Structure 1
């Protein structure tokens, strides 16, 4: 401020009446004190331990630390204490509850909480149980992730527990693969990117028409349309084989999955037939049906009225069809053997078994385990000798004409054939694209 202005203001102040000069001075001092002295005590610093007074109706952002405990660790949330326990060999639920400080009464209430609680009996070493207890140590909830899709949840509701299985939504996608056999069916499947189970499933689908131990040749090929499954965008496993085609020795076989879970040809004829072409899972064969074979032990020409499947001792042997065991015994020539009668016309024989799993007079189903490959009787090594008789005459089990398979009901055929034509077209188009890209 300029000096002349200050002088002028001072003169004006002195010219005022005494009362006004005192009033102005008092107000000025009061204002000065208000500016210098704070109106309330100073608040605590940022690092102070004093709690902040919260204002009603005002939103405050809280920093939350969420942590999932590893197996054996604990965490606390919502006044519940969570424990995570990884099951070990020799554990049972009683031992687990005791280790976690839970009572036998709580165990009883959990295991009787519903039919779904039976799944607790199927837990294995390595599985993880998560358990929540309240401030009094009482169990509130038990959680067990059964697989990528299903989770068992047992929750306390008032004075009892309720068990339920929570299922996550599965998204199914359709995939295609095609392969040409160079060395073996198994290797072709692996090289095509399908799993062991899918390879065996393909063999099961076509097992009534193709003997995968005998009939596979270099240049054979197959195409498969199958499901892959995803949960929240992540792959969790394989689903059903929807359709498949197998070209064996220039003969084409096609199979389409029906809603009833069985496979049929595109014309609606069942793939499942009265007899399997092979009583063992595919492996290699040491000798085929040969009426003029030189016997490996005696050195004499003796008819070989059957097929020898060379396999390791203990390999499962299946019944080729439904029937009745008419003989299950042992002799020096056949070793352990099983004979099965199928209806009036057919008999199948299984020789040189290491073990028999059926007895004379027992009824068996197609694919049922009846024995295991061995080297008993007059043999030079472990194998299954398999014979197929029609009206008492030996026939080549690979080429004998088998009873016709049943078809779908006439009322189902139109819709099924239309659906089958669509899948066959998808197989054909994808196969053409696959071959063109090679």
Structure 2
């Protein structure tokens, strides 16, 4: 009975007591094998650990330090800028003085920096920024010419260098349309069109329409043009892309076109240049106070004297334009004509402009169509501010209001260029037709 013991109790006892020698040897062998397997077999994260540790045995201490320096460069802090606002009556020397800079610094900047002459055009409200080092020496200066352009002047070895910075504005298209009630200018203003676009619109159609003589009530126009934005702020207007003017049952279209040489002009749908040899009228938005009349009663002398031109009543100071390209053949003052300018256009044509307040050109100068040659006044024999305008063909006075329609036809695009032109303006044509149809539908629906 004493020798019968359950197996589990025997094992427990053997653990708590002594093992036989054979058993001890077997146990020792098993433990050694188990230990070796633990040392030789990798754990589940061992491979990941090995691949995560880079082996760069050839990297020297110097190279390692260089890599660290490259990955974390030490930058010197930028020197602070001092901003000075231009006040009314300010001079550059006064501004430099307020920035604690010497007259010598100003002189060095003006004499060494390219485009430094632009600083002579600073206006009240503009700001100049100066970068000055610890010793009080000017190292850099910034001048914002306008919202898109800036000049940066930086000190170099031999003086100051200049860097021009130009912001690129966002371009958005805008469409405006208006019906004429009194004048193109008033209708366009009421439609929210700014003055530069109004003037350009008159310039584009100036060869086919006299905006004094031809415009009638209920005429209307549609114009598609660019507006420029920077950081969400509207800066102004860009180019007119396309326009249509409806005048007494007639329709005139104009499209901006850039040819293969990069030249820009406006053309009708058929490829005919909108720029005619002569403007229909040499100034904008006025009224005719006296027309071409061989038997007119003179307002000053009260005698019948031929009126060989057209009088355009306009406020003093209204710009007067050259009606066409040419050369100034005479410019001066006389008792009857006041300040005057005569322009010769080739061999056959001469235009005359009388009673100017001031002249902008001198004898012998070449002028381009729509270039300002003077301003409306009342000098000489004049009862009020107006422009007296004459047109001569081979020395004979002709009616300026009608002669331009009888002159040679304007230039046209070549047949080879027409496909490119048609392709370039097709989108703008569709837009103009869509807006015109919408306008007519709205007006018919309203009626």
Question: For 1:120 and 1:371, how far apart are their aligned partners in 2?
Answer: 29
- Structure 2 residue matching 1:107: 3-state secondary structure: helix
TM-score by length of 2: 0.72
Rg larger for: 2
CA contact (8 A) 2:184 2:285 kept: no
Aligned to 2:420: 415
Deviation of the 1:298 alpha carbon = 4.6
In structure 1, what is the equivalent of residue 378 of structure 2?
375
- Pairs within 5 Å for 1:111-260: 111=110, 114-156=113-155, 161-259=160-258, 260=263
CA contact (8 A) 2:185 2:285 kept: no
What corresponds to 2:64 in structure 1? none
- After TM superposition, the score normalised by the length of structure 1 is 0.73
1:426 matched to 2:425? The reply is no
Q: Distance in 2 between matches of 1:198 and 1:226?
A: 8
Conserved? CA contact 1:113–1:163, under 8 Å: no
Aligned CA RMSD, in angstroms, stands at: 2.9
1:414 aligns to what SS in structure 2? helix
Deviation (angstroms), 1:188: 0.4
Moved more, 170-179 or 382-391: 382-391
Identify if the C-alpha distance between structure 1 residues 151 and 341 changes in structure 2 by more than 3 Å, giving closer, same or farther.
closer
Aligned pair 1:348/2:351, yes or no? yes
Question: Any stretches of 5+ residues in structure 1 without a counterpart?
Answer: 1-76
Q: Distance in 2 between matches of 1:353 and 1:158?
A: 54
Question: Of residues 277, 282, 285 in structure 1, which corresponds to 2:285?
Answer: 282
> Structure 1's 220 and 141: CA in aligned 2 closer, same or farther, altered over 3 A?
same
Match in the other structure for 1:395: 398
Q: Residue 178 of structure 1 contacts residue 431 of structure 1 at CA under 8 Å; is this kept in 2?
A: no
Deviations 1:261-302 (A, max 9, x none): 322222222222221111222212212223454443454554
Question: Are residue 311 (structure 1) and residue 310 (structure 2) matched?
Answer: no
CA contact 2:173–2:227 (8 Å) conserved in 1: yes
Between 301-310 and 268-277, report the one with greater CA deviation. 301-310
Distance 2:78 2:328 in 1: 65
Counterpart CA distance in 1 for 2:109 and 2:328 is 47
> What SS class does the counterpart of residue 176 from structure 2 fall into?
strand
Q: Secondary structure at the match of 2:212?
A: coil
Whole-Å separation in 2 of the counterparts to 1:121 and 1:242? 35
Residue 90 of structure 1 pairs with residue 95 of structure 2: no
Asked whether the equivalents of residues 116 and 165 of structure 1 are also in contact (C-alpha less than 8 Å), the reply is no
CA distance in 2, matches of 1:115, 1:186: 42
Aligned to 2:21: none
What do the CA deviations read for 1:314-353 (whole angstroms, capped 9, x no partner)?
A: 4333322233444445555444444333223222222333
Deviations 1:174-215 (A, max 9, x none): 111111101211110011111011111111111122222222
Contact 2:241 2:256 in 1 (8 A): yes
| 1:219-272 deviation digits (Å, cap 9, x = unpaired) | 111111111122233322221111111222322222111222322222222222
Moved more, 259-268 or 349-358: 349-358
* Other structure's SS at 1:210 match: coil
Equivalent-residue separation in structure 2 for 1:215 and 1:362 (angstroms): 32
Shift in alpha-carbon separation, 1:97–1:379, aligned structure 2, 3 A: closer
Q: Give the secondary structure class of the aligned counterpart of 2:400.
A: coil
Give the aligned length.
Answer: 362
Worse-superposed segment, 177-186 or 100-109: 100-109
**Contact 1:80-1:133 at 8 Å conserved across structures:** yes
Q: Which has the higher helix share?
A: 2
Pair 257,112 (structure 1): closer, same or farther in 2 beyond 3 Å: farther
Q: Where does the alignment leave 5 or more consecutive residues of structure 2 unmatched?
A: 1-75
Q: In 2, Cα distance between the equivalents of 1:326 and 1:158?
A: 53
